[in-house]
Structure 1
Amino acid sequence: MTDAQTKSFATDLETLLNNAAKEAGVKGTVTVKANATAGKVDIKSNNDGEDSSFGFVGTTATTVTQGAADTDSFGAVLLSGQSDANKANTVDATMKVNSTIANGSSFTMTINGTEVKATTTAAINEGDTLKSAATQLQTDIQTAVGKYNAAMGTNLTATDFTVTANKDGSLSVEYSGDEEITFSFGEYTDSTTGTTGTTASKLGLTNKTSGSSTSNKGITLQIGANEGQTMNFTLDEMSADALGVAGKNVDLSTQDSAQKATTAIDAAIKKVSAARGQMGAVQNRLEHTINNLDTASENLQTAESRIRDTDMAEEMVNYSKNSILAQAGQSMLAQANQANQGVLTLLQ
């Protein structure tokens, strides 16, 4: 803990102890002060009696230790598709990087089996905050995605790749686009010198399995006989984890946590209700489409039946009769025209 954190802890502890004593009916109060020199918190009774003090050991250092093997260290990347439980935590602004990655250092990024070279465009120095390191790494990864697009003729959106710093000192690399992709990272080997770098391992990118991302593009159904007669719908994940009501998110041990649990459950119910409404609308549209297709199918069957039931002999007789009548009509019209021409000739 820092001195400021120790003082804050001492103040909170003093309030807690005095309130607890008051509720228990114990007379007297205590004063709690931070002893920065001894690394302890001193508890002093305001009544006659002995003083006491105790020390504490923090479970997580505020300066993050770098190294690929340590999953709690700077650069222990959680690739997309893996646990992202740390996203909800707030990153401590005091979390620092304790090593340096030089400007121009290289590592590889493999997207859908195609390897591209990623290069740091600015140094990550000892003492930089974890947030700034995440921002720098994000810029370098997005640049590598641009190289991939140029090489493969694709149009992945570089800004869909983001890097966030987590409270435990790790970095999360996430992809939020609409394409189905896989990606991973590795060390870059210079083809001229044969030297293999260490940037990826320093960033903690090599000790993770390949990440994958399949965006929720939904399901596309063909609902008609013609091209383009389709319907697309999506449904978000409705598991307890996705709804935020799993495990420690629903804690009823205290009044405050119970209120938070109630809020989380209420939000989950609203989300489920909205999803049910969405699915109901899709179901109604599908039922309407089915009814229309049934009507069209019935009309087609009726037309086919009439064709199959036709008396071909009778229809051929009718066709011949109509053909003869048409020819006779044309002959009569020709004769009538000739009569008019004869009268005109006599008049001349």
Structure 2
Amino acid sequence: MQDIRIERTTQPRQKPDMATVRFGRSFSDHMFLMNYDSKNGWHDARIVPYGPIPMEMASMVFHYAQEIFEGLKAYRTAAGKIQLFRPEENIRRMAQSADRMGMPAVDEDMFLEALKTLIRVDESWVPEMKETSLYIRPFMIATDVALGVHASDSYLFCIITCPVGSYYPEGINPVKILIESEDVRAVRGGTGYAKCGGNYGASIRAGVKATRQGFSQVLWLDGVERKYIEEVGAMNIMFKIEGKIHTPALNGSVLPGVTRKSSIELLRAWGYEVVERQISVEEILEAARDGKLEEVWGTGTAAVITPVGSMTYKDETLVIGGGKIGEVTRRLYDGLTGIQWGTVEDLFHWTVPVSK
């Protein structure tokens, strides 16, 4: 594993007020960079002051969207220690995304060391306020200067970080979601399971429409029959029907979420039956009409657990659980965030200390 060169900033950036900070707007002092080319492989691992990087207009990432990214967080416990939550899952998922996009994977040990070293350098940026964290964005882009649809010969791997506050500054409240019946996010055989920008770009138009109508999220259906539920916006989705938990199976067009996986493992440890399967939108609507649909929630890194209070499909709106957060939803949120911030014992060994 190569050494990481560190160049510390001489002009520290101003830290935001954590009571009012906006997600993804205030970035830490430093960033990690590492280059790749087919001759030298990954090389020149370095931490440098955060700032712009020079890019030629013909760089392939701009024209053919060969790029991938990840999202995870570092947490400061009440004892002042800094820890990551299941970073190996994000590292492996990024390798899967790289394979799908024809890009080179980063060595797992090197990736983890880069994460830890960058966080140690910017340790003061990991906030101390309750329910705050340091969001971490690793990403990789194609850097060949050439026009023509083919895999790039060179890449840049980067990690940037930003302190973020509670996703729910006024408390965790159920959201309204719109079930999209026209646009699709991804199809099997495509890039749905990869964390690449194209998937998110394809979701923006429907997201704009939903926001204009007063909805917080879009629930996506499959791209072929437009009848099977896949995921919500940037989150996976779960349904509690008559005491049993149902969630769409990972079929190749659904992102394999780390929070999804952790939720399933935690729920099963608590004794709940969790079924991963194909779920039609009509089945969910019928369960809601019959009063059998007890809770719905989304799972993702940013918000961890997002309760769903109502779903609208075409001209029909159905309220779930009286529009209030459900018992299992709340327990999952408290259980996962408790492990992440170190207030609940980590019986699963999911957390990874950053300090040496």
Normalised to the residue count of structure 1, the TM-score between the two structures is 0.23
Larger radius of gyration: 1
Query: Is the helix fraction higher in 1 or 2?
Result: 1
Higher relative contact order (CA 8 A, sep 6+): 2
Choose between structure 1 and 2: higher strand proportion: 2
